[in-house]
Structure 1
Amino acid sequence: MAGYTTNKTVNVQNNNNIFRYIAAGIIFLLLVLIWPLSLFQTTDSDINNRLLKEDDSYTYYYLSSGEYITTVLKGDGSYIDNGAVRLRFQGQVSQDACMHYYMYDPEGNMVVDQHIDLFERPENDVYQIPFGIVMDKGAGYQFIIAPDNDFTVGVYCLGESTEPAVVMHSSDQISSTTPVAVSGIFKLCIWICGLLCIGVLIGSAVFESKDKISCLFNNKTFIPAILSLLSIIVYGQYLFDHNIESGEGLIKGAFFVVIITILAFMCIFAGRFKLPIYGFLILAVGSIYILTFPAGSIPDEVNHFYRAFSLAFGNLQSVKFSDTSVGAVLPTAIQSLSDPEAVFDFADTAQIDFNNTSLYAPVCYIPQIIGIRIALLFTGNVHSVFMTARWAGFIGAFILYMLALYIIPAGRELLFAVMMLPMTIQEMTGVTSDGMTNAIAFLFIALVLKKAVSDNSLSNKDIALVTIIGTLVGMCKIVYIVLLILLLLIPVSNTSGEGNDYRSKKSDNSRFTYGIMFGIPVIMCLVSNVFFGQNLVSNGENMEAGAQIKYVLTHIPATIMTVIRSTIEYGMQWIGEMTGDYLGQLNIRTLPVVTLVLVIVLIVSSKNIRLPEKLRSVKAIWIYGFISVFGFLLILGSIYATWNTVGDFLIRGIQGRYFLTILPVFGLFIAALSSKGVNDDNDGQLSYFYDYHIGSYILLVINMLVIVDVYTYIIMNG
């Protein structure tokens, strides 16, 4: 009978409450322990931390008498007191064993000649070699290690190479207070987050009117607080293990820890306002990316800057200098992006080639063009102008990102996840065409979805807005014109012509409306590509777009096998490049777990979407699926036609970042197949992922780890 309660039921409830009391007590005790301990050591700030790791980035190479290994050390202009290497012994080694370390400067002069006894063995077998020299900035010094006696020893090397890992210590580095200061910031933030956790626990238990202990497990404020605390603790040691040699890396890490602490307060006191939280995270993470990646280190960034700079002075079309060269006549100093002393001299010009970016339309660079012109009003410094272009592009894309997140009727969490992918952030913060391309495409997707679920008829203003943004998408990159198919989601009943008097004209009106929204973008896209592509040159021998297209049309079965073969060969790499691996010039690798976690986040975000009926119909599923498949094939086809030899059996040159623009649509495809409606109460546990801001924390922490990996690359490669 409804409402009937037995003694057995009461006992079960009491047992559950006892369990929750015990769990709450354990968590409370852990917090109490962590909180005061944060005043002591929270990270190991040993300056030789990089030599203490045991992962795939390092291995031991064994030497015997008469053998040696060598590497080239790059100077940074500072005085180097000593260097450190790590050894490993194999078998018995004589007590009089000795290693010989010597180094030559670029002129061939021996500047280091040290014989270091192996015994007594130092802690972790990390040996210090006195250098006592100034290593000129950018100069290469040949460093050699060899056993002095008859014994076998392993030297800690980079990856599977025979290049010894060497940590150089300068006076400035040794006396630097940065590690101490950053460690102090970590302790303070851990203390604050621990206090926050305890406060939330006590406050929830006191002020919750029902089932006070359940608040621990169902409270949306406790989860962000504990996530912040755990994230800082885990991240801290990873930062110090990998970036201890970089003051900049440590400072960026401290900034991230402050961000995650602020995020805890935002989630607790304004957790239901997701849009400001999303904007805060994109803005904070993007700012760090801008300041982290060296000038010109993002794919094709140098050539994109050349194109944007040329457009800033009204040169819409690039100049064809020869059959293999397209570019512009620009100030010679523009080639010195990283030189802080380089200044533009418009009387000193040179031919600057940028073949691969010469056909991009100005719409891709509108923020950068504005930034360049404004910067030149105040300075002629090349690096300053370049960084202003970066910031301008980031701000422009950020504004469009926030508009897209604001107006999208469903799938906001998915769109945010795509925006927070390290690869998306990298392209957004560099001087590239991809930043604005993605931003405009995301805005177009959001706008079309909003109009598709609207009960109001499309006004002329709506039609004009959709048409303009659709045109801009196509002008950025012709392959993304496939997104126009989303317009078919807008039902005929939403077009003008309502009522009995207009019923007979409804079909004609809808065709006319679709004709405008489809036709104008397609026509403008073709005109743009013809106009800006007039001076297009071949990218290599036997790379002719016309001949490649003819081959594809006449060898369809072979082309299908080429697509399948390429997907099997490069598919996993494309996924990594699309999410968070192969950053920079495809040379900065991140932790393998980064890609795995990001893929899981994208899947969970997609399956968690509550789609209105209009966006999860059979028609919608076919539209999402067609765009995903056809968009994928268009991207492969465009690269195959322009960057591969005619008839090549593999499609080479595809980069995963090309798929970011259509990734939200693929997520909608997964969501539509899951058939979760707006009023579906059977959410399972997936809704907790974003209701408790777990997804936001994961995306933030992943980007924090990625920045550590970027600085690790900078440290190891100068």
Structure 2
Amino acid sequence: MKWGFFSMKLFFHNKVLNTQKVLFAFFILISAIYFSNVIFENKDFFTKINQDKAMIISQEKTDDIIGEIQDEMTITQKFEVNGQANLEIKIPFGTFKRANTGELYFDLKENGQVIEHKIFDVSQLPDSQDISIEIPNSDNDSKKRLLEFEIKSKGLSGGNSVTLWRSNNQLGEFFINDQIQDGSIYFKLFASNTTAALTNGTFYLLLISFLLLFVVVTLLIFKFRGNVQKIFVILSLSIGLFFVVIFPPFEHLDELDHFYRAYEVSEGKFINQTVNGELGNYIPTSLISTVNKVRYVHYTGYQYNVVKDTFSMELNPQERVFHRNYASIYSPVLYIPQALGVLLGRIFNSPPIMMLYLGRLFNFLAYVITVFFSLKILPFKKNLLLVIALLPMTLIQATSLSADALMIGSSFLFISVVLNLGYNKKILEINTKDFWILTTVGMYMSISKPVYLPLLLLIFAIPYQKFGDKIKYTKKILIILVSSLLPMLIWNLLNLKNLAVPDVRGDTGISPSNQVHYVLTHPFRYIKTMFDTLISLGDSQFMGMLGKAVTNYGYSLSSSLVFGFIFLLLFTAILKSSDYERDSLTINVKGKLIFVVIIVGVIILTYTALYTGYTTVGNNLILGIQGRYFIPVSPLLFLIISSNNIVIKDKKIDIYVILSLCLLLFIVLLNYILKINGAIPF
């Protein structure tokens, strides 16, 4: 009988295992079919010649003009391009919205020789609209083409003339009457593709590689099921390393400023210096030249040749320019990983573009390490933190040069440490090691960005008995608070001049001092402004936190993808699934009230910082708020809605959640690959 019973038990156990394996194989098969179908739908885009014109030179147009073009003027703009064929210049003229008469002579030269001559009737020029000039193909096989266009006029004078706009980008030398000018003439350069992006063989190789990566990652997840921190490393590296590379340079939000800041920190320049009444630091001119060359390669798909060219641009650290970047207000501790990447590039005399990618890589690896320990320490809701740490917006920040990567990681680590000390039943008393870990993490998090100071209130969720007695509790709480606040105060006092400079990227009428005065004299009106902003923009800020749209230029995700992440967040927040969670101490009302106070505090400080530093005085809405600013406190937001009563006893639910997350992430990766390359709209 015993052997019979044992045989039946073994039979049903093996049957369950076989059923799991079949379901697992079915999951992989259906997912592979889906990915193959999506990729094949876009096969022609990559394997056939695309006749659409791709922008290879674009600039930031300013409101400055060169003045009225008159007969005695000669305007010359030099520039350099790859040896591409089928090039076309597009340049807008301003007519001052009047009927002008006369002629413009447009000479296009290569190596000083005229290769195209055009005469434009000024009376026929449309105001502010592009005029196209095709560039004849070159007969030689040179990799570089040295081009210039020269503009003269006949019959034009003051009050009867046209003009051109300036750009701050330095594409090449720009002259007016042989006098060199700052910046460049505003124009765009397009090239028609003459070859396919990929051969059929390369396309199928990449398809198979993508599917193999998905299968391998899925198998590793199944192997390490139950170990959430290892699963995080597998998923983050498999997706994040692609993010480091595939996103065009300086595509991420404020990444160019973070690039300059990381370089400053790598040289030990932590605080801006004052030169002729201006704040800033001397940085290599090549950094700005690199940014100007590749900053706009995204418009019609990733222009790989443009980025490839920048790898030949040398650093030349002795040639410098005085520059202020807006990221210089942030503490240098947020740029340690990026600065190490830049420093490594400097040691090996790498071009600036390589420093960008090294900075991204080091920043991402620092984030992975920080979140790994956060998940390892967290006593419960590991799957919730896993989903938050792998949200599209979170990964985008982690794989850029953004200071948010370490800010997010350190916040997660602080939350995990506090919740472990406060709710882990095995920790009866906080020892010296635990205390100093808590203090150090709190100190780092606080000096990073002051708007997240309310997170320090989380320490009050730890029962005082774990500190020993009330006297020890009071003493240690004060040490933590003072240790966290003092470095932040010292840094901001040292950086006070820099903090007082308004961020005029949004509007030149911004005045922090006047805005502070307005808030203090109209407190109830400001409270209404905060409520109006939350009601009007709160939903978009929440979707932005998830990653509905990322980077400067969108790359939006479909609603179904976003709601897939929302479902996983709510599912992992509300339900208890693992054995440990079912037996662990639940979050009490006091803890949830502290979470609410923290979130409200961060919202108020974030809104106030952007109202005083980025919004015009007395505006009815607060401008510049982005959902990513609330990622550091997002675990607390979802822990507030966690339930103590809804329990799932099926032990396999965790692996289902993680496999669903894996599938969503690979769909996101494929979505970005297609959009970055222009196969589908932004």
C-alpha distance in structure 2 between counterparts of 1:41 and 1:460, whole Å: 55
- Greater helix proportion: 1
Q: CA deviation at 1:342?
A: 1.6
Aligned to 2:403: 433
Code of the residue aligned with 1:312 in structure 2: it is S
1:376 equivalent to 2:356? Answer: no
Describe the SS at the equivalent of 1:351: strand
Deviations 1:383-404 (A, max 9, x none): 1222212211111121111111
Select 1:277's aligned residue among 215, 231, 247.
Answer: 231
Residue equivalent to 2:535: 568
Distance (whole Å) between structure 2 residues aligned to residue 30 and residue 368 of structure 1: 38
Deviation at 1:450, TM superposition (A): 1.0
Alpha-carbon displacement from aligned partner over 1:117-137 (angstroms, at most 9, x marks no partner): xxxxxxxxxxxxxx9967999
* Pairwise CA distance, 1:550: 3.4
Instruction: State the secondary structure of the residue aligned to 1:465.
Output: helix
Aligned partner (choices 178, 183, 195) of residue 171 of structure 1: 195
CA distance in 1: counterparts of 2:383 and 2:137, whole angstroms: 54
Normalised to the residue count of structure 2, the TM-score between the two structures is 0.69
**AA partner of residue 180 (structure 1):** G
Q: 2:215 aligns with which of 261, 265, 281?
A: 261
Structure 1: tracts of 5 or more residues without a match: 1-16, 52-69, 84-103, 112-130, 141-165, 189-253, 497-505
Q: Deviations over 1:339-389 (max 9, x none)?
A: 2122122221111220x2112111101112222222222124211222212
SS where residue 456 of structure 1 aligns? coil
Question: Is 1:335 the counterpart of 2:306 in the alignment?
Answer: no
* 2:365 counterpart (395, 398, 411): 395
- CA distance in 2: counterparts of 1:493 and 1:409, whole angstroms: 19
Contact in 2 for aligned 1:413/1:690 (Cα 8 Å): no
State the partner residue of 2:575: 608
Alignment of 1:26-37 (within 5 A): none
Aligned mates of 2:616, 2:568 — CA distance in 1: 37
Label 1:440 to 1:36 Cα distance change in 2 as closer, same or farther (>3 A). closer
1:617-636: CA deviation from partner (whole Å, max 9, x where unpaired):
11111011111222222211
What's the counterpart of residue 624 of structure 2? 653
- Aligned residue for 2:589? 618
For residue 394 of structure 2, give the secondary structure of its aligned residue in structure 1.
helix
SS at match of 1:328: strand
Give the AA of the match of 1:170. Answer: T
Q: Distance in 2 between matches of 1:692 and 1:280?
A: 15
Find out whether 1:476 has 2:439 as its counterpart.
no
CA distance in 1, matches of 2:136, 2:511: 57
Residue 576 and residue 78 in structure 1: after superposition, are their counterparts in 2 closer, same or farther (change >3 A)?
farther
Residues 590, 39 of structure 1: CA spacing in aligned structure 2 closer, same or farther, 3 A cutoff? closer
Answer with 600-609 or 469-478: which moved more: 600-609
The Cα of 1:170 is off from its aligned counterpart by 2.0
Tell me the residue number matched to 2:519. Answer: 552
Q: 8 Å contact 1:474–1:522 — kept in the other structure?
A: yes
Alignment correspondent of 1:308: 262
CA drift of 1:42 comes to: 8.4
Residue 170 (structure 2) aligns with: none
- Equivalent residue for 1:598, pick from 555, 560, 565: 565
Equivalent of 1:539 in 490, 503, 517: 503
User: 2:478 matched to which residue of 1?
Assistant: 515
Per-residue deviation, 1:30: 12
- Classify 1:105/1:471 alpha carbon distance in 2 versus 1 (closer, same or farther; 3 Å): farther
- Are 2:42 and 2:679, in contact at CA under 8 Å, matched by a contact in 1? no
Contact 1:74 1:137 in 2 (8 A): no
**C-alpha separation in 2, matches of 1:31 and 1:690:** 14
Who is 2:123 aligned against?
none
1:272 match: secondary structure: coil
Against the structure 1 CA distance between its residues 39 and 625, is the aligned structure 2 distance closer, same or farther, given a 3 Å change threshold?
closer
- Name 2:201's counterpart in structure 1: 180
Q: Which whole-Å CA distance do the structure 1 matches of 2:259 and 2:460 have between them? A: 37
Structure 2 letter corresponding to 1:405: L
The AA in structure 2 aligned to 1:521 is: S
| 1:425 Cα offset (Å) | 0.9
Query: What residue in structure 1 maps to residue 248 of structure 2?
Result: 294
* Mapped contact 1:538–1:544 kept (Cα < 8 A): yes
What is the SS of the residue equivalent to 2:473? helix
Alpha-carbon distance in structure 2 between the residues aligned to 1:490 and 1:364: 27
Deviation string 1:81-128 (CA, Å, 9 cap, x unpaired) is 999xxxxxxxxxxxxxxxxxxxx99899699xxxxxxxxxxxxxxxxx
Which secondary structure does the structure 1 equivalent of 2:40 belong to? coil
- Contact kept? 1:452, 1:614, Cα under 8 Å: no
Deviations 1:216-245 (CA, angstroms, capped at 9, x unpaired): xxxxxxxxxxxxxxxxxxxxxxxxxxxxxx
User: Structure 1 268/305 Cα, relative in aligned 2: closer, same or farther at 3 Å?
Assistant: closer
Q: 1:704 to 1:466 in 2, by over 3 A?
A: same
Q: Please report the RMSD computed on the Cα atoms of aligned residues, expressed in angstroms.
A: 4.3
1:491 corresponds to 2:463: yes
1:406 and 1:300 map into 2 onto residues whose CA distance is 32
Residues 490/715 of structure 1: CA separation in 2 closer, same or farther (3 Å cut): same
Distance 1:82 1:410 in 2: 59
Once the two structures are TM-superposed, the CA of residue 713 in structure 1 deviates from its matched residue by: 4.6
- Residues in 1 aligned to 2:286 and 2:480: alpha-carbon distance in whole angstroms: 44
Alpha-carbon contact 2:541-2:627 (below 8 Å) kept: yes
Q: 1:373 to 1:463 in 2, by over 3 A?
A: same
Q: How has the CA–CA distance of structure 1 residues 603 and 26 changed in structure 2, closer, same or farther, with 3 Å as cutoff?
A: closer
Q: Number of paired residues?
A: 532
2:669 is the alignment partner of 1:704:
yes
| SS of corresponding position for 1:43 | helix
Instruction: Tell me, yes or no, if the aligned pair for 1:316 and 1:532 is still in contact at 8 Å.
Output: no
Q: Deviations over 1:604-651 (max 9, x none)?
A: 221135477655111111011111222222211111121112211010
TM-score (norm 1): 0.65
Alignment-derived partner of residue 67 in structure 2: none
Q: 1:685 to 1:630 in 2, by over 3 A?
A: farther
Corresponding letter in the other structure for 1:477: K
Deviates more, 1:27-36 or 1:40-49: 27-36
Assess if the C-alpha contact under 8 Å between 1:82 and 1:132 holds in 2: yes
Cα 1:545/1:262, change in 2 over 3 Å: same
Q: CA deviation at 1:49?
A: 8.4
Instruction: Pick one of 401, 410, 413 that aligns with 1:443.
Output: 413
Q: Paired residue for 1:582?
A: 549
Residue 683 (structure 1) aligned to one of 629, 648, 656: 648
CA shift for structure 1 position 44: 4.5
- Rounded to whole Å, the distance in 1 between the matches of 2:83 and 2:680 is 15
Contact 2:330–2:448 (CA<8 Å) still a contact in 1? yes
**1:539 alignment partner, SS class:** coil
What displacement does 1:301 show?
1.1
